[in-house]
A and B are shown apart, each in its own frame.
Chain A
Amino acid sequence: MWDEVPCPFCGLVCDDLRITTHSGKLEVIANGCPISSRAFATLSLSEPAAPQIAGKTASLDNAAAAVADFLGNAKQPLVAGLGTDVAGMRALMQLADRIGAVVDHMNSVYLMSNILALQDSGWVTTTLSELKNRVDLLVLAGTDVTSRFPRFFERYVWNRDHLFVSNAREVVYLGRGLDTQAGTAPDGRKPTVIACDITRIGEVAGALRCLIAGRQLQATRIAGVPLQELQKLAARMQAARYGVLAWAAADFDFKHAELAVQSLCGLVNDLNRSTRFCGLPLGGNEGDVTANQVCTWQCGFPVRTGFASGGPYYDPRHFSAERMLRENEADALLWVSSFNEKNTPPETSVPVAVLGRRGMKFRKEPRVYIPVATPGVDHSGHIYRTDNVVALPLRKLRESALPSVAQVAAEIEKVLESR
């Protein structure tokens, strides 16, 4: 039995799980959630562990050589997916640098909304322990949080222990059609719901900024919300001692969501003129924060960076792996997903190699499939939490014959180096 196990399957990386193992089968017996329980329980040992070349069993050496064959000769290879831990990402960066690949994460379409806002204007943000101990007004912008981060309220909002005595916590949802059940306090107090159109959440933030600045608004409804409701919210936000405005960019499923994120960050900045208020971008699933951190420290730029010209070149729009495949701008794909077997590569006609969690099922057989170990289960490693600050140590919970992403990437590089 294992105690205080960090869970790599969502961006909260809760580290209080109790897990039992019976001949390699894992069960979360305490502090689980729908995501972790399923993810640990389905890490089966019955699926084939051997690499496959064109659907046929092969040795790791041969599989690595086969990947090196087409990746090394590609004019514009992609290293994408990037569902891996710190060590895996370090090794993939080294490989990408060598072969001149573009690196992109499977969650980039969301991740970029935050990165672009950061690069354009910056932000004031906080982390999970600050939230847990300080927040008195929590505003959730366009997200129910719990469907992606099931234990968010249990661990950081309705926690019994906190360092600083504060008033009863208040929760406000901004957005129509959200499941707001988790926002009900243990004492039965219901959250406030402001049913705006989520695609127009940037407008709501803009209106709140005007109200906080003391300006008159001509409109009587903004994004479907009566002005009076926003006036009340603006007053509550200004009265908060330590407010937090959280959003999940993955729930901003509309074009130019970075502008909505930027508006929300601007609102938070304005509130800090008189009180304390912080943003909290929620993400980190499938190792997206991890991949981005490592990419940034090794080359200076976030993901969606390419190395074809010898040095790093960052292009947050053109270097979308999905777009490049669609527009025939790439001619080979190395796809990595070690946490989740459901994240298969995008459909493409270029040769594909997959370093995937065991048991991955493909609509179209990739040229090479190398089942890889899952960090935090089959080997130790590190993964970042949503807040970009805490990297947790992942444990090895069982013996596994599967290689890690880092090992496979090193094997591929070894082949390339020897040629």
Chain B
Amino acid sequence: MLTKLKGGKVYDPANQVNGEVRDLYVRDGRIVAAPVHDERTHCEYDLTGHIVMAGAIDLHTHIGGGKVNIARAMLPEDHRRDIVARTSLTRSGCGHAAPATLTTGYRYAEMGYTACFEPAVLPMNARQAHMEMGDTPIVDKGGYALLGSDDFLLKMIAAKSDQKAINDYVAWTLNSSHCIGIKVVNPGGISAFKFNQRAMDLDEDHSYYQVTPRQILTVLARALSDLGVPHPLHVHGCNLGVPGNVATTLETVKAAEGLPMHLTHIQFHSYGTEGDRKFSSGAARVAEAINQNKNISTDVGQIMFGQTVTASGDSMTQFRNAPFGRPKKWVVMDIECDAGCGVVPFRYRDTNFVNALQWAIGLEIFLMVSDPWRIFITTDHPNGAPFMSYPHLIKLLMDKTYRNSMLDTINPDAAAESTLASLTREYSLYEIAIMTRAAPAKILGLTDRGHLGPGAGADITVYSDDADKQKMFAQPRYVFKDGELVVQNGKITKVSWGNTHVVKPEYDKSIEQPLKTYFERYQTMRMDNFKISDDEMQEFGHANKLLSHPCRKQT
């Protein structure tokens, strides 16, 4: 069956198409070249006057796994503000800060997103992450396996194991947990917290292993590079939220030693200590470092004002920040000699100096990082704000007048501390398409997503053009997932289940010998029960497809 999307204004940066009027053709879930002969089109959509982009990709959103479900369980009062009723097509659920899996999928799709990546899959909890993502409809999913505070790796680094053995362990972890990348959170710090260490800077020793976060970052970034995994090491750095952490962040850029590295929710890591309140913006210095180091990419983790919940693997930081949380309840967990987590509800207030400046810092970074291929739109859902605030965030980036009118409403001392008012940049639709489609696909190694060229999976979002970009991005006219119309006028018309993106780098199977012994002696499950099989993945995901992306050939 051939479908024609006729006459839309196409923004497809991966193929250098910038707002040209074009026809697109879709057959069997793929975008195809225009048929040569007068082949019959079975279905035609007139998109005259509409904006056409690939489906959007969120490369950092906490949508599945243990800590997300703790957040859900903890917040019945938040859910009650946004109960979602059942329809003839869709299941009931709830939205806002910690939405139900089903609602998460529907709402991402209704906003024109077709792929979401869970950035903190604890290997010991990977089954849960995949089961939850399996119950997240329509969008494609993938996860980053969390390493860096697991005792197996820390023991290896402390024992100065050779890089090759570490590469094997990293590859084994990716294979057995069915993930597409590796995330490190407060490198070594989650483990250090179990030894009652309360802070750990980049060059500070883990009190037990005598290993520094810098060493952990270097070893993991090297492993991914050696293995040819497309997505660079995904780094949640040391000292999240600590005033003065901008210095740590600049050092972290150096720790990459030129290797690809993704610094996530950078806003939380861009704080100085200037001013009366000893809290200031480090955005300019961070943006400069990113502009100068082409090996570095980032997503912002923008905060928005209102109630949300922070769910993080960073137990050390979450324990420290728990007293600032609202409402007053929080969870911290040590997990399986593997990692940890902390869940703290937060209410960001525009009248609060710190919160208001956090908001401005995020926007400053967006506007000062020059290359949209290396900076991505995230709120670190739900940590900075729920993902539903993306259309509002896009408007802030595209509309200087609107942005400045918002700036006038925040804590005046914070507004005065920020350079935001002097930043005149306005993102174009083409740049937004880069940040939310082409660039995330590129940095994840998804060659057939994030663009509209022949051969791409037909994940397509069509917007009705509107001067109010928030309105435009909140409610697409059509969304196609793998060629099927799933959303019309911002409402679900069909429920499908999406694919799961993974990488399966090769490794030396002999790494399983020490692992098997390690599991038997120290863990509480056996290695073979830990590993997730392909069959299980099918079962979790309503028989969805596992899409395995190639790793670069090792040299």
Chain A positions within 8 Å of B, measured between CB atoms, are 4, 6, 15-16, 86-87, 90, 94, 97-98, 115, 118-130, 132-134, 155-156, 161-164, 241-242, 272, 275-276, 278, 292-294, 296-302, 307, 309-314, 382, 388-393
Contact = CB atoms under 8 A, between A and B. Distances in A.
Contact of B73 (A129, A242, A302, A389): A302
B194 A130 contact: yes
B294 to A, nearest CB: 39
13 contacts: A122-B74, A122-B343, A130-B337, A161-B521, A162-B522, A293-B69, A294-B131, A297-B68, A297-B132, A297-B135, A312-B83, A389-B122, A393-B536
B14 to A, nearest CB: 34
Interface stretch (B2-10, B86-94, B504-512): B86-94
A390 B522 contact: no
Given A119-B76, A122-B74, A297-B101, A390 B196 contact: no
B73 A119 contact: yes
B176 to A, nearest CB: 12
B187 interface: no
B553 interface: no
B99 interface: yes
Contact of B93 (A86, A156, A293, A311): A311
A302 B98 CA distance: 13
Q: Which 10 A-B pairs have the closest CB atoms?
A: A300-B94, A310-B85, A311-B83, A161-B521, A122-B329, A300-B100, A311-B85, A129-B336, A128-B524, A122-B330
B69 A298 contact: no
Contacts of B332: 124-125, 272
B91 A121 contact: no
B329 A124 contact: no
Nearest to A394: B529
Given A312-B92, A391-B128, A4 B528 contact: yes
Contacts of B66: 388-389
A129 to B, nearest CB: 4
Residue among A120, A297, A307, A389 with most chain B CB within 10 A: A297
Given A293-B69, A297-B135, A298-B100, A314 B524 contact: no
A12 B335 CA distance: 15
Contact of A119 (B74, B100, B101, B528): B74
Interface of B: 64, 66, 68-70, 72-76, 79, 83-86, 91-94, 98-103, 122, 124-125, 127-128, 131-132, 135, 151, 193-196, 208, 319, 328-338, 343, 521-526, 528-529, 532-533, 536, 539
A307 B246 CA distance: 48
Contacts of B193: 276
Contacts of B64: 297
Contacts of B132: 297
Contacts of A16: 526
B93 to A, nearest CB: 6
A297 B100 contact: yes
Contacts of A275: 196
A307 B92 CA distance: 8
A292 B70 CA distance: 11
Nearest to B344: A122
A121 B344 CA distance: 11
Given A310-B86, A312-B83, A393-B536, A298 B93 contact: yes
B529 A129 contact: no
A299 B337 contact: no
A301 B76 contact: yes
A277 to B, nearest CB: 10
A127 B73 contact: no
Nearest to B535: A380
B346 to A, nearest CB: 13
Contacts of A300: 72, 76, 79, 93-94, 98-100, 103
Contact of B333 (A119, A125, A164): A125
Contacts of B539: 87
Given A4-B529, A297-B132, A97 B521 contact: no
Nearest to B523: A129
Contacts of B196: 241, 275-276
Interface of A (DSSP majority class): mixed
B208 to A, nearest CB: 7
Contacts of B75: 119
A97 B536 contact: no
Given A122-B329, A161-B521, A133 B337 contact: yes
Contact of B331 (A125, A130, A132, A299): A125
A298 B529 contact: no
A125 B528 CA distance: 26
Contacts of B69: 293, 296-297
Contacts of A129: 124, 336-338, 522-524
A299 B94 contact: yes
Given A300-B99, A300-B103, A391-B125, 5 more contacts: A127-B334, A129-B523, A164-B208, A309-B85, A390-B525
A118 B331 contact: yes
Contacts of B68: 297
B430 to A, nearest CB: 37
A286 B127 CA distance: 20
A4 B525 CA distance: 9
A309 B343 CA distance: 30
A293 B526 CA distance: 23
Contacts of A94: 91
Nearest to A293: B69
Contacts of B336: 127-130, 389-390
A6 B75 CA distance: 32
A16 B529 CA distance: 10
B522 A296 contact: no
A387 to B, nearest CB: 8
Nearest to B90: A97
Contacts of A86: 131
B188 to A, nearest CB: 15
Contacts of A391: 125, 127-128, 131
A301 B79 contact: yes
A97 B343 CA distance: 28
Given A129-B522, A301-B79, A307 B86 contact: yes
B415 to A, nearest CB: 34
Given A122-B329, A163-B337, A298-B93, A134 B98 contact: no
A298 B329 contact: no
Contacts of A87: 539
B317 to A, nearest CB: 14
A35 to B, nearest CB: 17
Contacts of A278: 333-334
A297 B118 CA distance: 15
B329 to A, nearest CB: 4
A119 B71 CA distance: 10
A350 B91 CA distance: 27
Contacts of B532: 393
Given A300-B93, A392-B525, A311 B337 contact: no
B91 A97 contact: yes
A22 to B, nearest CB: 24
A388 B72 CA distance: 14
A4 B196 CA distance: 34
B337 A298 contact: no
B316 to A, nearest CB: 11
A119 B526 CA distance: 33
B265 to A, nearest CB: 23
Contacts of B329: 118-122
Nearest to B325: A122
A53 to B, nearest CB: 30
A419 to B, nearest CB: 14
Nearest to B64: A297
Contacts of A389: 66, 122, 124-125, 128, 333, 335-336
Contacts of A156: 524
